[in-house]
Structure 1
């Protein structure tokens, strides 16, 4: 077991535990909802509060997932270098971190507006419950998608406290987008999941069927993003970017197969990080043109 004593090392271990770099998936979609609702650049207060809230709740979800899954991660060769497994961070420290991040999230929601504050407990429940679902159902990927699907809704209500058709369509798009790429990512653990009784689409249906289901999810994603842009009244730059994003989603499924998962990390992080950032840029340009 590795002990981490210096504050800098501890901070680095925490960042690795929650995979802070994966914030690129959720934050652009939260900003997408916020900027569209504002009709352009929002004021600095809701922008900063939304950023704090999103980072906080994502940290809660990731840390809760890591501490709950510790017995499984310790046995899985792919996850044995995670900070909780190596001892760089203790379970007690992780629970304290979860409590602090949850409190920061609720406080940020309080200062955003009344609806955000009222929905904060619901968002926290949705975020943490995902970690338990893999023990019961292969639908866990879609619940994870629902967690990130809160992003455009949160961004929208931070400016306009109501649920709109455009925000809901983007949310559905994100739900299927995340479910699709999480199914791809979980293909790496299909054999392990079956051996320990965990549920996932690849473990339940096999790799070939899982990739078909993932492809279907991303077709739905493309349709929902198209309809979301139309409902939001975005201009042509958004739809140009939408076409590129749809092409990237298609390409993502051409570089992996049931017989060759060697490029799964490229499909999971590189391409999907590109998708979230580009769609936000496209939406921003579509507001003004």
Structure 2
């Protein structure tokens, strides 16, 4: 039953002629689309807070580089749990996805997989995530399990609040706590402030993303910060990104970071300002491009932290 899928074609907003649609066996393509394997930006956005936190922990501990083993575990975990989260969201949002032009071609509403098949796939991905989590210390394991709460409630928030992006931020930024906890077996103010900054950053970039669907969302009754901010989105993005940058700087200070870390944050701030300046909320393609550019932003912050740790350890 698991292999009896139906390939009705790629998802409307997916990258055209991607390896998922051209190289995978036909039966596997719907599962890859469920996990969004053809769109790595999702797991990058989940991964960055983990790697930033691990790099801040290296600075605070005097290490020359974040623990490579932890970085690899976070990478595997981010890919697995992002896929599991997308599968879970698609199960919850089947009725909404079927009414929205950009999402009605997703595997579940398009009939490529059954709900039972999607649930089995969800469990398999979650099992990989659990296997990764069990490699860390006990405190990190407990902390990681706690992350399931914001993950579980997020898909329902668009039905009851105009701030579903806040709850997405709580889920996607959890790694800001995990990297530090994996290194020290406890939390401190630096990772907590990093987490709060991650929430602000997430609200910003996902508001940009949500502008792609604002007309359909309004018709089907789905709420978002894109609809809430409306024509005030550009100043709202500036404010959210400024807050995120300020909180990241405070977190770096609390970890005793040096000039290289703040240089990375400054470069990142320029990138975020570019996003806000370029934003055209009525240009869906531009919104998607700006959203995806946050992968590059992550490298700027991580690079600054890593270089700073290396310099401090000399």
Normalised to the residue count of structure 1, the TM-score between the two structures is: 0.90
Q: Is the 8 A contact 1:144 1:178 kept in 2?
A: yes
Q: Is the 8 A contact 2:34 2:83 kept in 1?
A: no
- 1:227 corresponds to 2:250: yes
Match of 2:308 in 1: 286
Query: What is the rounded CA distance, in whole Å, between the counterparts of 1:56 and 1:225 in structure 2?
Result: 26
> Is the Cα–Cα contact under 8 Å of residues 65 and 309 in structure 2 kept in the other structure?
no
Match in the other structure for 1:268: 291
The 1:259–1:198 alpha-carbon spacing in structure 2 relative to 1, beyond 3 Å, is: closer
The secondary structure found in structure 1 opposite 2:108 is helix
Provide the rounded CA distance (Å) in 1 between the counterparts of 2:66 and 2:27.
35
2:267 and 2:183 mapped to 1: Cα distance?
29
Match of 1:14 in 2: 31
Using the alignment, how far apart are the partners of 1:76 and 1:15 within structure 2?
21
Match of 1:95 in 2: 119
The offset of 1:258, in angstroms, is 4.2
Q: Give yes or no for contact 2:6–2:111 (8 Å, CA) kept in 1.
A: yes
Question: Per-residue CA shift, 1:43-100, capped at 9, x if unaligned?
Answer: 5543433333333322221111112111111121111232333333332221112122
Which of the two has greater helix per residue? Answer: 1
User: Residues 1-289 of structure 1: matches in 2 within 5 Å?
Assistant: 3-4=6-7, 8-20=25-37, 21-22=40-41, 23-38=43-58, 39-203=63-227, 205=228, 207-269=230-292, 271-289=293-311
Matched-pair contact (CA < 8 Å) for 1:176–1:217: yes
**Matched residues in 1 for 2:124 and 2:281: separation?**
41
**TM-score, normalised relative to structure 2:** 0.83
> What do residues 170-215 of structure 1 show as CA deviations (whole Å, max 9, x unaligned)?
1111110010111111122222222212111232x35212333232
Unaligned runs of 5+ in 2: 9-22
Contact 1:183 1:211 in 2 (8 A): no
Comparing 218-227 with 38-47, greater Cα deviation is found at 38-47
1:242–1:64 Cα change, 3 Å: same
Give the number of aligned pairs. 286
* Mapped contact 2:157–2:164 kept (Cα < 8 A): yes
CA distance 1:9–1:173, change in 2 (3 Å): farther
Unmatched tracts of structure 1, length 5 or more:
none
